[in-house]
Amino acid sequence: MVPWRRFLRRHAPAGHDFHPARGSVAAIFLVVVHIQVAAALEQAPPPGLPAGTVTVCTAEQSIGFRWVKGRWKSTDFIPNRYLIDKRAAGQALSRACREFSPGAMFDPDKTTAVVHGCYAIRREGDDGGGEREQVCRERWRSAGSRWILDEIACDNFRFLPDGWFHRTSLHGDLAAGPPNDEKDPLSVSVGHCRLR
């Protein structure tokens, strides 16, 4: 007989019929309860920014290249302001925003989480036609019992609602002799954002 079973038989209360299999079931039950309690105490995932959050980003500098007579020439561009609106799933116009999965994804040690959200980004002064809806990634960092937003990353726009932003305008036109000798410019803009 296994020594721990002898110990349990010797120390079982009088008048109780002890069976080692019942002890194993009780041990398994305690392990399951412990795992469930530990999971309940685990930090909840970040909720993501609420729908309806509007951010205004103002460029301080915008530099890049223009295609002039068959060559790229460096240039400064007029800095723009951008309006960024987080949309609820029911407000989404684009298919990508209607079909993404909103749950949080964690890194292996659960110190960083990514939450997807639908954002509409437009340059101030553009009509609704310049607005572009896209699924962006909110990257959150664990700080004890709370979450801190590190960045929101969209296709060509990265920002913090109360911090820096940078925007790129790039394309893949590598032709040496484009039609009519015209290409869209390439640019990088940097500036600050604030919540509206």
Residue 5 clears pLDDT 60, i.e. is over it:
no
Taking a C-beta distance cutoff of 8 angstroms, is the pair 149, 161 a contact?
yes
22 pLDDT tier (thresholds 50, 70, 90):
low
Considering the domain architecture, whether residues 129 and 94 belong to the same structural domain is answered as: yes
Is the pLDDT at 161 greater than 60, yes or no? yes
Per-residue pLDDT at 179: 80
Average pLDDT over residues 25-41: 45
In this predicted model, which residue has the larger pLDDT, 3 or 86?
A: 86
Helix (H, G, I), strand (E, B) or coil at 2: coil
48 in a structural domain: no
Amino acid type, 159: F
Question: Do 91 and 151 reside in the same domain of the chain?
Answer: yes
Instruction: Give residue 20's domain range.
Output: 3-41
Q: How confident is the model at residue 7 (pLDDT cuts 50, 70, 90)?
A: very low
Question: Domain for residue 103, yes or no?
Answer: yes
66 with 11, same domain: the answer is no
Going by pLDDT thresholds of 50, 70 and 90, the confidence category of residue 15 is low
Q: Which residues face 84 on adjacent strands?
A: 55, 121
Dihedral sign of CA atoms 176, 180, 182, 183 in order: negative
Q: What is the pLDDT of residue 33?
A: 43
Q: Residue 190 domain-assigned?
A: yes
Residue with tokens 């990353």: 153
Sign of CA dihedral 176, 181, 184, 185: positive
Residues 67-86, mean pLDDT to the nearest whole number: 95
> Among 1-15, 17-31, 35-49, 119-133, which range has the highest average pLDDT?
119-133
Q: What is the mean pLDDT of residues 141-156?
A: 94
Q: Is residue 69 part of a domain?
A: yes
Query: Does 31 share its domain with 110?
Result: no
What gap in Å lies between CA 13 and CA 47, rounded to an integer?
51
- Give the chain's mean pLDDT: 82
- CB distance 48 to 102 below 8 Å: yes
Based on the fold, state whether residues 108 and 176 are members of the same structural domain: yes
Q: How many domains does the chain have?
A: 2
Q: Mean per-residue pLDDT for 99-114?
A: 88
Phi, psi of 33 (to 5 degrees): -60, -40
Mark whether 65 and 133 lie in a shared domain.
Answer: yes
Two tokens at 79?
């800095």
Same domain, 32 and 71: no
CB 69 within 8 A of CB 112: no
φ, ψ of residue 25 in degrees (nearest 5)? -65, -40
Both 184 and 111 in a single domain? yes
Place of tokens 């915008």: 62
pLDDT of residue 6: 46
Whether 98 maps to a domain, the answer reads: yes
Task: Say yes or no: 31 and 111 in one domain.
Answer: no
pLDDT: which is higher, 115 or 22: 115
